[in-house]
Amino acid sequence: MSYTPPYKITPKITSLVSKISEAVGSFNVQEGLRLHRANRVKTIQGSLAIEGNTLTTDQITAILDGKPVIAPINEVQEIRNAIKAYELLDVLNQNSMDDLLKAHLTMEAGLIDDAGRFRKRGAGVASGEEIIHYAPPAERVPYLMGDLFDWMNETEEHPLIKSSVFHYEFEFIHPFSDGNGRTGRLWQTLILSKWRPVFKNLPIENIVYKYRKEYYHAIEASGGDDGCTPFIEFILGVIDQTLTIENSATRTPRDKIVEQMRNNPKITRNELAAMLGITSDGVKYHLQKMTADGVIVHHGSPRSGYWEVM
């Protein structure tokens, strides 16, 4: 392997990789698919908002539905392009530089003259008005990107780490005149979705936007003796938080009842109602349905018995 990006595998990274892998395994896929549209809107809104786009999720939903929106023309175009770019996740090859150029062309069509082509001038990463990183000279970009994709093709690193390293290295190189942030975040989602398809439906970019100051700080803090380690730790923390939020959102009342019964087999209907935030009659309905489906069994008297999860 001709080039290996510098980074260290810290205990924090190892712990996050293990935690995320476990969370992905327990993710409610069917509920995740149901939330696909809403999460795609949140993903696009978050990713573009990091770079100044002001459109709301309601406006993006309207654009997705083909409805007119009163907003700056260039911001509407950014949203339309991003919608098309994320629709390419199923067909893009994570290890293909040609596909990266295709994705950038889609993301920046009608916005810049050199969409789909590497920059020909200097560039940098800005956080507000402050330049936090000056990118390598334009003439080095094709070679640096070639080295990065060679590493991508050859590395046996875990996809969670590989995608985070790529994300940082991509932003460090800053290969395009514009759209680097949104394209880099799209590509990390692509790499993760090839590992576990559920990542196509997770609005990671929305959480990155929430912590955008920390996002830029992690980029700025990387590049020293520890390489991009700070960025890997940050972005894995974002993925972990996204999964925690989405797992909570996709868990059904049945899932929550089963969890509570495993923790306390003698839990009462009123206690379940209080924990789930629904009425006692609502709990009764779920208990009757789960009993009929053979999910749970009640032993003993109604007042002093206990529940067994089958």
Task: Using a cut of 0.85, tell me whether the model's pTM lies above it.
Answer: no
CB contact burial 105-131 (16+ within 10 A = b; e otherwise): bbbbeeebeebbebbeeebebeeeeee
In this structure, what token pair is assigned to residue 86?
A: 């994320």
pLDDT the model gives residue 159? 97
Q: Which fold has domain 253-309?
A: Arc Repressor Mutant, subunit A (1.10.10)
* Of 272 and 128, more confident: 272
Residue 93 has pLDDT above 70, yes or no: yes
pLDDT averaged over every residue in the chain: 88
Q: Work out whether strand 306-309 and strand 130-134 pair parallel, antiparallel, or are unpaired.
A: unpaired
Map out the domains of the chain as residue ranges: 11-250, 253-309
Instruction: Name, in order, each residue with C-beta under 8 angstroms of 129's C-beta and a sequence gap of 6 or more.
Output: none
Find the range with the poorest average confidence among 20-24, 187-191, 216-220, 249-253.
249-253
C-alpha 276, offset from chain centre: 27
> What tens digit of pLDDT does each residue of 135-155 get?
899 999 999 999 999 999 999
> What tens digit of pLDDT does each residue of 35-54 get?
677 888 989 999 999 989 99
Evaluate whether the domain defined by 11-250 bears CATH number 1.10.3290.10. Answer: yes
